[in-house]
Amino acid sequence: MSLLELKDVSMAYGGKVFALQDINMTVEKGEWLAIMGPSGSGKTTLMNIIGCMDKATSGTVILDGIDLTDVTHQQLTTMRRDKIGMVFQQFHLIPYLTAVENIMVAQYYHSLPDKKEALAALDRVGLEDRANHLPSQLSGGEQQRVCIARALINYPVLILADEPTGNLDEANERLVMKIFHELHDEGHTILTVTHAPEVGREAQREIIIEHGRIANSEV
C-alpha cells in the first residue's frame, strides 16, 4: 500500500475556479518526490491538501492508510500533527523562543516536550551549539536547519518541504539538500515542492503541475 494516494483530486474555488483538476498520484514509503511547476500552477494548493491543511473539493486522499475525504477539520489537524513534518521557505520560527524551544513547542503540541531529544534533533542538523540562540541570531541557513529539526522531532511519516531552499544562498542550499539526502537514505519519505529545477532534480521522481493538472511525470 502506498503511503500517499490521490485519486481524481480537484480543488475548485466557488465551484468554478479550478486550482487543481483530476490529480492522480501516489507516493511510496521511503520515496523522495518533487512537485514542480511555475507560480500559480497549483503546487501550493496540492501541498496544502497533502499536508492536511486544506480539503479537496472532490476526489480521494489516502494518507498512511487513512482516507481524508470525510474527516473533520479537527481530525485533519490531528493527522497533520501526527503524520506530517513541515519545512517552509519562510521558516516560521517563533521569534522570541530559542532554537531548542522552537523544537520543544512542536513536541508540546504533539505529546510532551523533551529537551534532551530536542537538542539531539539540533545536533542532527549540526546546530547543537546554537540551541540557545534566537532565530534573529541565526543565519537563514541555520534557521532552515532548525525548521528541519522541528519537522523531524515527532517522527512524521511524511516530510513536506515547500521551497526549502528558496531563501538560502548557495552554501546553505547545498547543506540543506545534503541533509535531505541523508534523511532519504535513512528511509524518510520526502515531498519537496519547488520551482527550482536543480532542487527538483535531487528527488527520485518529479511531478510537474501546470494549470492545475499533472503535465508530466517521470520515474
68 or 183: CB nearest other proteins: 183
Residue 146: C-alpha distances to residues 122, 131, 140, 195 (Å)? 7, 9, 10, 23
CA 213 to each of CA 10, 15, 54, 199: distance values in angstroms, whole numbers, following the listed order? 9, 17, 18, 21
Answer yes or no whether residue 13 interacts with other proteins by CB under 8 A: no
Q: At what angle do helices 140-152 and 170-185 cross, to 10 degrees?
A: 20
Closest to other proteins by CB, 13 vs 109, is 109
**29/110 with CB nearer other proteins:** 110
Residue 128 CA to residue 197 CA, distance in Å, equals 32
What's the start-to-end Cα distance of the chain, in Å? Answer: 18
The pattern of x and - marking residues 171 through 190 that bind other proteins according to CB under 8 A reads xxxxx-x-------------
In angstroms, give the least distance from the CB of 66 to other proteins.
27
Count of residues near other proteins by CB under 8 A: 33
Tell me whether residue 31 or residue 202 sits nearer to other proteins (CB atom).
Answer: 202
- Structural contact between residues 114 and 107, judged by C-beta atoms closer than 8 angstroms: yes
Provide the H-helix boundaries in the chain.
Answer: 43-50, 73-83, 99-110, 115-124, 140-152, 170-185, 197-200
Q: CA 177 to CA 141: how far, in whole Å?
A: 11
136 binds other proteins (CB under 8 A): yes
Name beta bridge partners: 25.
6
Nearer to other proteins, 69 or 89 (CB): 89
203 part of the interface to other proteins, by CB under 8 A? no
Interface stretch with other proteins, choices 15-23, 44-52, 93-101, 153-161 (CB under 8 A): 93-101
C-alpha cell read off for 63: 494518507
Check binding of 139 to other proteins (CB under 8 A): yes
User: For other proteins, which is the closer residue by CB, 40 or 197?
Assistant: 197
Figure out which of the listed residues 170, 186, 218, 219 binds other proteins, where binding follows CB under 8 A: 170
Contact flag: residue 215 with other proteins (CB under 8 A): no
Per-residue binding letters, 101-130, with other proteins (x by CB under 8 A): x--xx--x---xxx-----------x----
**Backbone angles phi and psi of 197, in degrees to 5:** -55, -40
Kindly state whether residue 97 participates in binding other proteins, applying the rule CB under 8 A. Answer: yes
Kindly list the residues in this chain that would bind other proteins in the complex (CB under 8 A): 94-97, 101, 104-105, 108, 112-114, 126, 135-141, 169-175, 177, 196-199, 201-202
